[in-house]
Amino acid sequence: MKSTSKHIAMRTCAACGEVKPKRELVRLVRLESGWVEVDIDSKKNGRGAYLCPSRECWEKGLKHGQLDRVLRITITPDNKAQLLEQGNNY
């Protein structure tokens, strides 16, 4: 007998470490250019990281270097400021 429940993809927040369904988190992606941006549709190519949609996680992830480690890049101050601004929308 087959189960009718659908598989739910789980991801870990790069800042707080909580495991949540992928759809509850915000994906950030490192582009080939080295710039990091929010991936609204979760379909862009590049190394990705996930954050909870809370101000605390965005600040922790950006200010304490967790995103730098996960994305394997040093995020520029300008890029961090832009991402923090976008984080205000969540």
CA distance 28 to 65: 14
Helix (H) or strand (E) holding 4: none
Q: What is the pTM of this model?
A: 0.88
Confidence (pLDDT) at 2: 64
Sign of CA dihedral 60, 52, 15, 32: negative
What residue segments make up the domains of the chain, in order of their start?
A: 10-87
58: CB partners within 8 A, 6+ apart = 15, 51, 83, 84, 87, 90
CATH 3.30.1230.10 for domain 10-87, yes or no, is: yes
Q: Using 50, 70 and 90 to split pLDDT, how confident is the model at 5?
A: confident
Confidence (pLDDT) at 42: 87
